[in-house]
Amino acid sequence: MTVRRIRYVDMAKGLALVMVILSHTDGAMWAVPFDNFSLAVFFVCAGFTTSAGSLSLRRKFRGLVVPYVTLSAVCLLYSLAVGREVTPQSLAGIAYSRFCLYPGTDAPGQVVLMTLNNSVLWFLTALFSSYVVLRLILLPDSVSRQALMASGSLVVAGMADFLPVLLPWSLDSAFFFAPMMWCGFRMRARDTLACVGLPAASGLFVVYGVLFCITGMTNYSVRDFGDSLILTFAAGVSGSAGLLAVCRWLEQSGRRVPLVEKLNAQALTVFGLQLIFIGLAWRVCVRFVPEDWLALTVVAEVVAACVGGYFAGRVMRRVLPFYR
């Protein structure tokens, strides 16, 4: 059960990572169909690989917050090296770990905090905060009580949506993400995906597509959950379950994607440093690639983010013993 599941979960997370990277390139419009589930996959998979008896917040702190600090330092040093202005506001953004201060990117008087190619790093502290909430959801032994706790968490997330500012470390949005993790936890506990073949997975994507058309675009980093928090939640879970089911089918039919699975081994570094490598690839493409060859530029940006982040992760793990 463990080896098989780890492989297809790695495949799903690797594919989702490529989707997220694509959304930050010049080809962001091509990532629109995945908007409501590409990031949700990571939360669902986090719950999927969680065991209630072994959920150690100390280990999660070391596995998420320590890399957050390390990758933030790398982004800061890179910004200094290329001459980018480092302001007290951008330094405060590292501690606050939110892209901006107010909900929505177009809020009046918006204060952008993460300006050092580190704007994606909010996800690491958000995942840690979500583990804290998940720990609370899993306190009862009864599944029905856990479901009640998860539902209550979504209610809190809906109430938090009225806060005038974004809370540090995504403490507001964690109440939205943690129930996603719980859904992933229950998927594995009930071995739900064993009952989901390719036709059912296709059905999940149809459900996702309908929900996406209703709720619209989202931006988790600024607490923008589309037109309906509940429908966005359902879209994220259904899309994630569909992707997991497809990856499980691919593995069982001998159609694995080893490169994507391998990419997930350095997922934190690839995710955290993607903007640096995308920017480097863009600078090269501006000089050598014709403007109307957008597809080539996008491919170069995605490949640079994946390959650059992968090898950067290997080097950092070898050089920095605390970076694991």
Domain ranges of the chain: 2-258
C-alpha to C-alpha distance for 214 and 212, rounded to whole angstroms: 5
**Tens digits of pLDDT across the chain (324 residues):** 344 447 899 999 999 999 999 999 999 999 999 999 999 999 999 999 998 777 999 999 999 999 999 999 999 999 999 999 999 999 999 999 999 999 988 888 999 999 999 999 999 999 999 999 999 999 999 999 999 999 999 999 999 989 999 999 999 999 999 999 999 999 999 988 888 889 999 999 999 999 999 999 999 999 999 999 999 999 999 999 999 999 999 988 888 778 888 888 899 999 999 999 999 999 999 999 998 898 999 999 999 999 999 999 999 999 998 887
What predicted TM-score, i.e. pTM, was given to this entire model? 0.95
Report the C-alpha dihedral over residues 228, 229, 233, 235, rounded to 10 degrees.
20
Using an 8 Å Cβ cutoff, are 188 and 6 in contact? no
The SS3 of residue 112 is: strand
Q: Rounded to an integer, what is the distance from CA 321 to the centroid of its chain?
A: 25
Closest by CA position to 184, among listed 150, 156, 227: 150
Q: Which residues pair with 134 in a beta bridge?
A: none
321, burial (CB in 10 Å: exposed 0-12, middle 13-18, buried 19+): exposed
Closest by CA position to 243, among listed 10, 4, 22, 47: 10
Using an 8 Å Cβ cutoff, are 183 and 199 in contact? no
Closest by CA position to 9, among listed 177, 196, 236, 246: 246
Using an 8 Å Cβ cutoff, are 225 and 232 in contact? yes
Closest by CA position to 182, among listed 174, 194, 172, 171: 174
